[in-house]
Every structure is written in C-alpha cells, then in structure tokens.
C-alpha cells in the first residue's frame, strides 16, 4: 500500500508542473470572477450619472425621509403629492 502513495505523489507532482494543469485550475476561477464582477463593470462604465427617478406615494413621511437621505442616488421632489403626477414623472424616463 505504501507503493501506491509513492506512485500517486510522483504522478501528482509531475502533473501539477504542466501548463495545462495550471490553465485548467485557474481558468474556471477567472471565468467565475468575471461573471461575478460583470454587473459592477457594466454599472461602472455604462451607468448614467443622473439620479434615479422614483415616486413614493404614502402618508407616512418616514419613507420619503429615508429615500431623501440618499442624495447620491435619489432626487426627491416633495412638491408632487399626486399619484398621477408621480406616475407621469417616473414613466417619462
């Protein structure tokens, strides 16, 4: 049984040193990382710089306060209190 492990370790060491082993080991990792990072790359290069238009229709002011706190991503227009106006503003985009 000890000869089995000696032969196995020798074959393993010989295979690990080949380029094809390294490519077959690293290529799936690189593809997985690219698929994982693809949405962020698209947002970075293809995203628009203008804030997203949304309409918050609620009697509770906590919703609009929470959204207006994120000024980098959202622009809150507190003048529009009408459902139809809110729908028109968001549909125009």
Distance CA 93, CA 91 (A): 5
Least confident of 19-28, 44-53, 64-73: 44-53
Using only the alpha carbons of the chain, give its radius of gyration. 28
Give the predicted TM-score (pTM) of the model: 0.40
Domain ranges for the chain: 1-47, 48-93
pLDDT digits (tens, 9 = 90+) for 50-77: 666 667 777 777 877 787 787 777 777 6
User: How high does pLDDT run on average in the chain?
Assistant: 79
- Report helix, strand and coil shares of the chain as percent, to nearest 5: 65, 0, 35
pLDDT digits (tens, 9 = 90+) for 73-93: 777 766 666 667 666 766 665
- Give the other-Cβ count within 10 Å of 56's Cβ: 17
């Amino acid at each position: 049984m000890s000869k089995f492990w000696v032969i196995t370790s020798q074959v393993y060491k010989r295979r690990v040193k080949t380029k094809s082993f390294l490519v077959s080991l690293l290529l799936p990792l690189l593809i997985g990382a690219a698929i994982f990072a693809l949405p962020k790359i698209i947002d970075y290069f293809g995203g628009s710089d203008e804030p997203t238009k949304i309409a918050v229709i609620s009697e509770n002011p906590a919703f609009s306060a929470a959204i207006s706190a994120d000024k980098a991503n959202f622009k809150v227009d507190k003048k529009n209190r009408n459902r139809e106006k809110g729908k028109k503003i968001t549909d125009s985009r």
